[in-house]
Amino acid sequence: MGDDSAAPPDLAAEAEPSSEHVEGAPPPPVLWDGYCADPFVLRAEDGRYVMYGTAPGLLPDGRAFQTLVGDDLDTWTPVGGALVIRDEVTPGTEWWAPEVALADGRYWMYYSRGIGDSGHQIRVASSVGPTGPFEDAGILTVDLPFAIDPSPFQDVDGRWWLFYATDLVDGERPGTVLAVQRLRTMTELEGPPNVILRASADWQLYLANRFMYGGHHDWHTLEGPSVLHHAGRYWLFYSGGNWQTPGYGVAAATAAAVEGPWRELEPAGPFITSASTGLIGPGHCSLVRDESGRIHVFLHAWDETGARRRPHRLVLDLDGERPTAST
């Protein structure tokens, strides 16, 4: 699934930056040279920026999730792990894709926990400070077979929602889909999942003839949702395809309301790709506004050896019919 911590050994050989990359536009620089996948950036109450990301395992301090802080969006200092692990850990357990929201005077971290690419469920933890320590407060998605990549979003009316990815086997393109539920409280979901976007194109194929849920399927994947309200409409940014390959990228959909209907942009397809950025498999983005209101996209990409996913930043422009992202 989209956040396994190791890449196939031949990734680097397959992932030469495309010649379609815009001539003269350098790839966005590496923001930190360690492993920090699924980077989420939060502007804290004190004005600092905090980045949280998936790590290959627990950090040396025994906590999960690489955490970095910065006074600006380009210079980052690691400060250890964010999530305290108090229970005995089953071998193979992984912690994926943390995102953090500030509400009710606390910081709330949403993430998934599971073993390999199975059994993942979305959990929530909280802390009085943005860098932790975050203490787990339980599972949110108890009725789903699999759920990852939670992304909390506060609507213009103040209500909180949780976007995430889950699996559906039925339909023309079985695979991982995007869903949303309202947060009744910061630790409790309300109502059933509302599936808002399913795979619609070949570029979203994760693996042909993949064995999942007792059968073989041409498995498609949408994951890593991130939502923004801008200029009167809602923008959903998500990653699609196989996270292990250069074909991974970021696409967008829009809606007039949080629950949809959500419509992919036309022409369909990703607007952040290996070809457009010069990065290797860019994806799983998060969005943050700086002090001036500019929107920045943080995402990960593979290093040249295929060993690490490192964070990068692009500037997002939503003034046209289709979004653009540039260095």
One digit per residue, pLDDT tens: the chain, 327 residues? 444 444 433 433 333 333 344 444 689 999 999 999 999 999 999 999 999 999 999 999 999 999 999 999 999 999 999 999 998 889 999 999 999 999 999 999 999 999 987 789 999 999 999 999 999 999 999 889 999 999 999 999 999 999 999 999 999 999 999 999 999 999 999 999 999 999 999 999 999 999 999 999 999 999 999 999 999 999 999 999 999 999 999 999 999 999 999 999 988 899 999 999 999 999 999 999 999 999 999 999 999 999 999 999 999 999 887 899 998
Q: Coil, helix or strand for 116?
A: coil
Question: What's the structural domain count of the chain?
Answer: 1
Gap between the Cα atoms of 60 and 79, Å rounded: 11
Instruction: Note the pLDDT of residue 87.
Output: 85
Q: Considering the domain boundaries, does residue 300 fall inside one?
A: yes
Is the pTM for the entire model greater than 0.85? yes
- Tell whether omega for the bond before 9 is within 30 degrees of 0, i.e. cis: no
Range of the domain at 144: 11-326
Instruction: Note the pLDDT of residue 203.
Output: 96
* Tokens, residue 91: 């071998």
Gap between the Cα atoms of 39 and 308, Å rounded: 13
- Do 163 and 139 contact (CB within 8 A), yes or no? no
Q: Which residues contact 174 (CB under 8 A, 6 or more apart)?
A: 168, 212, 217, 218, 219, 220
How far out from the chain centre does Cα 35 lie?
15
* Tokens, residue 229: 């309200």
Q: Considering the domain boundaries, does residue 2 fall inside one?
A: no
Q: Considering the domain boundaries, does residue 1 fall inside one?
A: no
Gap between the Cα atoms of 29 and 52, Å rounded: 18
Gap between the Cα atoms of 145 and 211, Å rounded: 15
Q: What is the CATH number of the domain that holds 271?
A: 2.115.10.20
